[in-house]
Structure 1
Amino acid sequence: MKKITRNIKYMCLLAATITLSSCSSDDDGTSNQEQPKSALVAGEANFSKYVAVGASFSAGFTDNALFIAAQQNSFPNMLSQKFALVGGGAFTLPLMNDNIGGLLFNGALDPNGGFKPRLFFNGAGPEVLPDTPTTEATTNLNGSFNNFGIPGLKSFHLGVAGYGMANPYFGRMASSPGATVLGDAMAQGPTFFTLSEIGGNDVLSYAISGGSGVDQTGNYNPATYGGNDITDPVVFASAFNAAVDALTSNGAKGVVANVPYIATLAHFTTVPYNPLDPTDPNFGPQIPTLNNVFGALNPIFNAVDPTRAIVFSTTEASPVVIKDESLADISAIITAQLNASPTFPAFVAQFGLPPAAAPVVAALLGQTYGQSRQATEADLFVLPSSNIIGKVNQAYAGFLVSQGLPAAVAGQFSVEGVTLPLEDKWVLIPSEQLAIKTATDAYNSTITSTAGTKGLALVDFKGILEQASTTGYSSGNYIYTTALVRGGLVSLDGIHLTARGYAIMANEMMKAIDATYGSNFEASGNLLDSGTFPTNYPKAFR
């Protein structure tokens, strides 16, 4: 069995990207906005001091990074420009140093490999910009700001004293080392606020770790602060209500947004469950040998649970093999049955191993496949799994060599998703997806109830993304979807929005303000034309 080097390609077209981007006025994220049709009025809202509180979306995070153009194309900054037409004051952003993205720590890159530059589209898929960040994380900006969109912020982080020492995105703008996000926001004396995506990171960090608690994005992941467990809905409710109570304490009005079902985003829907193509010259010729190997295990699987049987098709794309921790561990059963089989020593011999190696191989097969199965359509794979499926896991191959297997054999049994089940960190199984949905529903119940009690405008962000992921969301001359690259709504990291996506958020917030406070952003023609904003930023853009 030869080394299988199958690697999943991003399903996107350069032509589609060019088409989606063609209406941008220029590459730096500026836009030509519609002229109002009639006089704009604020209604009951007072926009003189607008403060945005939120996480990555509020910050403008896109393409797995924060950078100047992205911040300028954040939905709070877009809103502030419209609010300025009816008495809104200055809106100050904690700007990064460049359009590269990423952070330095005392002049050095993050030793853990995070906080990398932004992604760009290389014609086939997303790629990290080959530059060094210039924004120093340890330098405090010493200013007064209006946008408290903090990448990585979870609900309970809002009131944590000294949170800036854990999260450099807040640390570089915090008023003091012991400051809280909510305290600094309130110090601005807001007359109007947006409170958005609170609760998103509370489930996102769990989701992007495949429900395993291990962050495997390979790039900076802004949802990992405070661990990867799903936030208890009771804790969320307490934190969210405390934030709303504080923000409205001086009579300020505002808009809140609910939390989408994040599993509908491209980060979880791009990598197919069945990417193993029999026409692939690196995989197809290996299918008979693979089926022979699993032929020794399938009788055991069929006796315990037929859904665990592993068979690769010679005519259709086959699912990857995964480890499902919700399955009963039958490692001991596999090992015992193989050791009891009179034909197993001959099976081992076909790999050039002596009969005496049979017990060792039986134990290794039991350990490897005790909770394995082939994936189904119900499983979701995190975007970074595309980089490892079909590749040899060198660490595991090294382990097999240490157990006495020749290097060639060790490599054959270490192919990710084929002979080595994908670990839990790469996949969201149905039970993990249900845990995310259950928590999201609880968060949204709190958000809806609180908005109603406080008389706040409410944006159904969940509904917008659901529509985009199914029939598509229509805005201007475009229909946006959540597909990676070609959908126009979700940026290259598969989670955060494009500038067009943020323009859509701004529009939905203005519509909600109109409905709740009697303004007329929509009727006066002051909604944004999402098509005039970029979907991505070119490699050369600095």
Structure 2
Amino acid sequence: MKKIIISTIAISALLFTTSCEDDFDTDVKDIQVTQGEANFSKYVALGNSLTSGYRDGALYADGQNESYPSMIAQQMKFAGGGDFKQPLMPDNNGGLILNTLAGPVQIANTKLYINSFINGSPDLKYANNNTATTVVNTILTGPFNNMGVPGAKVAHLLAPGYGNIQGIPTKTANPYFVRFASSPTASVIGDFKAQNPTFFSLWIGNNDALLYALAGGDSSVETLTPAAQFTQYYNALINEISTTNAKGVIANIPDVTSIPSLTTIPYNPLTASVLGGGNVDAGNATIDNLNTNLYGPLNQILTAFNAGDRIKPLSKTASNPLLIKDESLTDLGPQITAAAAGSGNPTLIALAAYLGATYGQARQAKAGDLVPLTSKAEIGTLQTLPPGVPASLGARGIAYPFADKYVLTVTEVTEVNTAIASYNTTIKAAATAKGYAFVDANKKMIELNAQSGISFDGVKYTAKFVTGGAFSLDGVHLTGRGYAIVANEFIKAINSTYKSSLPQLNPNNYSGIKFP
């Protein structure tokens, strides 16, 4: 007879105690599946992109069919669970098109795939030449059990009109919710309550910190939700959910600064080979030129102001750090301008004003600074410079300081982690107060980041980009296998709290990264 994977208090005496290194060694036979104190007949999932099944930088049908709520719903069917309807994309292309009076506008990219490997690194491309096929204006008929909305923050689930297509240009509405909202004035929580669910899952709050982190801590691009505001909105959301009298499970927020999207690109990727486009001699010549005309003079000027550690000459034999702008530093622009103007060096004198305006808060990146995957393509691209400034000084991250949005500094990492710790305190308190099952997703992320990772039937899963098996090609969202690991955490929490015996999943049965 086929084995099932089980986790429940009722049969705990039958199970082995397992470590994180072998997280799924709980196979037993012939265990009756029961709902315990829960009612799974109408299960509705609330959340963001992680709930929707988003992966590889897009929402597409195969990914949605391997969403963790869909997996959980399949296991619930063994214990009286009903059908689970999702707002499926029409194909596996991904991407969105919005029809406007001026014509169709693509507002979301298609999914990523590995085209090839270059020097061991994946060369990622967009499917269908990044031409989307899904039209937002085509509204689906609901209701839908999977109400995961990519990009949603906690406050968004409460907002009326979040599914109004007219609000997409002003970002007061979400195109993914537009596709399945019951009306233009509907809210996510309102459409949830209208279904009278008997059981729910809630995993929300990641974007309140994640989007800010992926934007390099640049609040002009994305904001970090203040802790007090998060608590206000989260508790309001929980209070709305509790009016349904449904039982449920809620999850906290993983450390977003430890996901592959922020840990894969090193802070010091500039080798002679990289700077020379694979030609070490050309790279060494570039280093000599930069040291003579930029790094050396700046180091001398900054040293005079006790800030020589900000910018040091480049090495030909070691990996060199990116050049970034750190807005937390004292702006030494006026000092740099004055020193360059009085240097006696014709080149520095001519560039004095530019040097002060550009490098006053510049420094080389250091260990602990995080570079988003999306910044990789920007390294070395040319910044438009004022007339008279050599074009070679416009190479972003090399000669021209990376703007705030391209790097999450050590200070900003601490800011994000402090916020997440506060968010998670709020989430755990809400679960305790309402008696809901609780999933410590942050703890699971720590296990994935450990060298030992999580293993099942000889397959090891870690948080390593591409080869770790758990994360998809965007470095933020999970593979089908990763979502199965998450689904098991939800199932274990449900079984523990409600004395049910839902079977766990075999992550190896789901899809991972597709290699060329």
Relative to the length of structure 1, the TM-score reads 0.83
Partner of 1:260: 254
Q: How does 1:21-420 map to 2 (within 5 A)?
A: 37-106=30-99, 111=105, 114-124=107-117, 125=122, 126-131=124-129, 132-165=131-164, 166-196=173-203, 198-213=204-219, 228-279=222-273, 280-281=278-279, 282-293=282-293, 294-304=295-305, 305-342=307-344, 344-345=345-346, 348=347, 359-393=349-383, 396=384, 399-400=385-386, 403-405=387-389, 410-420=390-400
Task: Give the C-alpha shift of residue 109 in structure 1.
Answer: 8.8
Q: Which structure has greater strand proportion?
A: 2
Aligned partners of 2:459, 2:515: CA distance in 1, in Å? 21
Kept in 1: contact 2:469–2:482 (CA 8 A): yes
User: Helix, strand or coil: the match of 1:328?
Assistant: coil
Kept in 2: contact 1:150–1:170 (CA 8 A): yes
Task: Give the C-alpha shift of residue 247 in structure 1.
Answer: 2.0
Kept in 2: contact 1:156–1:235 (CA 8 A): no
User: Helix, strand or coil: the match of 2:249?
Assistant: strand
Aligned partners of 1:537, 1:314: CA distance in 2, in Å? 37
Task: Give the C-alpha shift of residue 46 in structure 1.
Answer: 0.4
5+ residue gaps in structure 1?
Answer: 1-33, 216-227, 349-357
User: Helix, strand or coil: the match of 1:38?
Assistant: coil
Kept in 1: contact 2:343–2:349 (CA 8 A): no
Cα deviation per residue 1:218-244 (whole Å; 9 max; x = unaligned)?
xxxxxxxxxx11112222112222222
Kept in 2: contact 1:274–1:319 (CA 8 A): yes
The amino acid across from 1:325 in the alignment is E
Partner of 2:426: 446
Partner of 1:505: 486
Cα deviation per residue 1:333-387 (whole Å; 9 max; x = unaligned)?
0110111122x11xx2xxxxxxxxx544111111121111111111100111111
Partner of 2:15: none
Distance 1:36 1:235, change over 3 A: farther
Kept in 1: contact 2:53–2:67 (CA 8 A): yes
Task: Give the C-alpha shift of residue 451 in structure 1.
Answer: 0.5
User: Helix, strand or coil: the match of 1:307?
Assistant: coil
User: Helix, strand or coil: the match of 2:433?
Assistant: helix
User: Helix, strand or coil: the match of 1:453?
Assistant: helix
Kept in 1: contact 2:193–2:244 (CA 8 A): no
Kept in 1: contact 2:215–2:405 (CA 8 A): yes
Partner of 1:13: none
The amino acid across from 1:442 in the alignment is S
Partner of 1:535: 512
5+ residue gaps in structure 2?
Answer: 1-26, 165-172
Partner of 1:218: none
Kept in 1: contact 2:44–2:147 (CA 8 A): yes
Aligned partners of 1:476, 1:517: CA distance in 2, in Å? 28
The amino acid across from 2:481 in the alignment is R
Relative to the length of structure 2, the TM-score reads 0.87
CA RMSD of aligned residues (A): 1.8
Aligned partners of 2:477, 2:399: CA distance in 1, in Å? 34
The amino acid across from 2:224 in the alignment is I
Structure 1 moving runs of 4+ over 6 Å: 107-110
Q: Which has the higher contact order (CA 8 A, sep 6+)?
A: 1
Distance 1:252 1:230, change over 3 A: same
Aligned partners of 1:135, 1:537: CA distance in 2, in Å? 23
Distance 1:374 1:334, change over 3 A: same
User: Helix, strand or coil: the match of 1:164?
Assistant: coil
User: Helix, strand or coil: the match of 1:105?
Assistant: strand
The amino acid across from 2:337 in the alignment is T
Percent pairwise identity: 41
The amino acid across from 1:163 in the alignment is Y
